[in-house]
Structure formats: C-alpha cells, structure tokens
Amino acid sequence: MIFTQHLTKKYGRVTAVDRLNLSIREGTVFGMVGENGAGKTTTLSMLSTLSTPTSGHAVINGYDVVKNPSAVRHSIGFMPDSFGVYDDLSVDEYLEFYADCYGVDKRVIATRRSDLLERVGLSDKRSTYVNALSRGMQQRLEIARCLMHDPPVLILDEPSSGLDPRSRMDMRGVLRGLREAGKTVIISSHILHELAEIADEIGILRRGKVAAVAAVQVMLQHSSSQRTLWLESRSDPSLVESVLAADGHVTSMEFRDGGVEFVYMGTYEGQSELLAALVAAGVKLTQLTERATDIEALFLRLTSEVGGSSHDA
C-alpha cells in the first residue's frame, strides 16, 4: 500500500532523508519514531505530495507521488504536525469544506460527517465554531477531516503532540478505531511507547535512514518474557542469592542499595513460583517490583537479535 525505494530528499548540502526503503502492507498501522531532525516530517511531506523527492520513488495505493500526485491526493488523508484551522467555521461547515475540496457527493457528506463526528466524539459540537474547541478536540476534528473523503491511507504527523494526558488517551482511542476500520496508517511520533500501543509495526528513523523495523507483537512478546525485577528483603543477601541462583530463569543479579536487581526470563506463573520459593526459604520480602522496560533499548536490541536492522517493514 505504501512503498518507498531509495527515497531521498536533500536541501542544499543537507540530506534530510537518505535512501529510505519502506514497505507497508494494506491495513497496517505503521509507527515512525525518531528524534527531532530524524527525517520523519520530511518523509511524510514527500508521501503527501507537499514536497518532491530529490531522488528515489514513493508509491501510495499504486500511484507514484511524483508521476501521479493527483491520484495520491485522492488516496490519502494528511494531518501535519503543526496545523491550523479555520476558526470562523462551525464543525459541520469545516468538514463540509474539505469534503467539497475532494468532490464528495453532497448526499454522502451529511451521513459521513455524522458518522465521523460520532467516531471522534464530537457529535454534540456540530454547530460549535472551531475556535471554541479545545486543542484535543481540534486534533480529533482533524482526524475526522482526514477521513471525509474516505481515503485508504492516512498520514498523521505527530497527531498527539501538545495534548494533555486525557486528550492523548482520547486520541489513542480514535487511532485504534482507524486500525479497526482497516485503514493503512502511517503515524510519526518521537514517543515510542505511545506508538507501541497503536501500531502494528514500528520503524526507527535516525539521520534520515531507517535504523530498525519490527512488528510490535514480537516486541511485546519479548518484553513480557523478559523482565527486570527489583527485590528488597530484611533477610541475609546470601540467602536471597542462593534461592535466585537456584531458579533457572534468573540472570544477571546485582546487589546494591539494600536490594537486588535481576532479570527474569520466564512466564508470570514461573515468577509466582519463584516468589513462593523465596517465602518458603524464609526470605522476609519487603518489596518486589518490575522495573519499567526501556522499550527503545529493547527495540534496538531485539532488531539486532533478529538479524540486524531490517530496512523493510
């Protein structure tokens, strides 16, 4: 559905995107992560026909972005990272305007608009002027705007940026809805763990290149079978060490600050059994917690384990 080959964009001597290769299947939600300046926005800008590649190719829904930009525009809904709205239009008028831009049939507009406003939770704001909506509501309205012409592909650049936690949660709900609707979505973000909740596949961009690509499901399975745990007790550390060492799933123990940090490579049932073994051995436990997984580190480690950085999604 989305395919790029050696996609490159140069601004003078600066190479913003460097021979980018992507292959995103239909119905996939693809997350694109990277630091500021990694080339995410430039890539999305080329895919949305706003700028032209210096070299290479990009094909969306079977149409080349350079050779057939008009067909590409019909196939995509684009939400830029920093967008403005027409303040003095009502929500209904705002969506109608964009539907008219795509030549959507007048009879279709009314029903589709109602359906989309319902989906993004703005059905009670139809007559409200856009400037009276909160930032979070405006961003959800933008998603509805992207969908007014029912495109098969959505290109969303940082759709959750600048939102408070509550609005981010609402936005995640809307984005999950897109996946259920079978849309092919490419989302950029600089927050990996947020994308992991929505995306099917994730690619990391670094200095205009794809550093790694992996399926989120593989990452989640991996993270659930490998956890870093922190244990504190009022017992002798050597006793704790002997019990932990006896469990075949425990690796890399480190005693410090009155506790022990260790990696547990096993299921949650196995972890319960380890806990029972510690109690049975007389260890007086005061705390057992799971340390937050550095998902990016895990992601990079995982992609190198599965055969280095695969440049194709």
Partner 1 sequence: MMRNPILLKEFRQRMRTVRAPMVVTGYVASMAVLTFLLLYENVQGQLYLIQPSRSEQVFFVLSLLQMLVVAFLTPAFSAGSMSGERERRTLAVLLTTPLSPFSILFGKVLASSALQCLLLMASLPLYSLVFLFGGAVPQEVVAVLLFQLFTIFIVATISVMWSTIALRSGWSTVLSYATVSFMILVTGTVGLGLQSLAKNPVDGFAASWGHTLLSLNPLWVEAALENAVHGGTLPWVTFALFYVIIALILTPFCLWRLRPQWLRRIPGATRMNERNYQ
Closest approach of partner 1 to the CB of residue 199, in Å: 22
Closest approach of partner 1 to the CB of residue 87, in Å: 8
Contact, 206 vs 36, CB < 8 A? no
Q: Which is nearer to partner 1, 80 or 237 (CB)?
A: 80
Dihedral in degrees, nearest 10, Cα atoms 154, 143, 212, 294: -160
Identify the three-state secondary structure at position 164.
Answer: coil
Residues that bind partner 1 (CB under 8 A): 11-12, 45, 48-52, 54, 66, 69-70, 73-74, 76, 78-80, 82-86, 88-89, 93, 97-98, 100-103, 145
* Farthest CA pair distance, the chain: 77
Closest approach of partner 1 to the CB of residue 224, in Å: 39
State both tokens at 257: 């600050």
Q: Which is nearer to partner 1, 113 or 145 (CB)?
A: 145
**Of 137, 199, 124, 125, which Cα lies nearest the Cα of 167?**
137
Q: Which is nearer to partner 1, 8 or 228 (CB)?
A: 8
Host H or E run for residue 192: helix 192-198
State both tokens at 128: 């409200």
Q: Which is nearer to partner 1, 51 or 271 (CB)?
A: 51
Q: Which is nearer to partner 1, 139 or 271 (CB)?
A: 139
Q: Cα(106)–Cα(253) distance, rounded to whole angstroms?
A: 67
Closest approach of partner 1 to the CB of residue 153, in Å: 12
Closest approach of partner 1 to the CB of residue 182, in Å: 22
Identify the three-state secondary structure at position 88.
Answer: coil
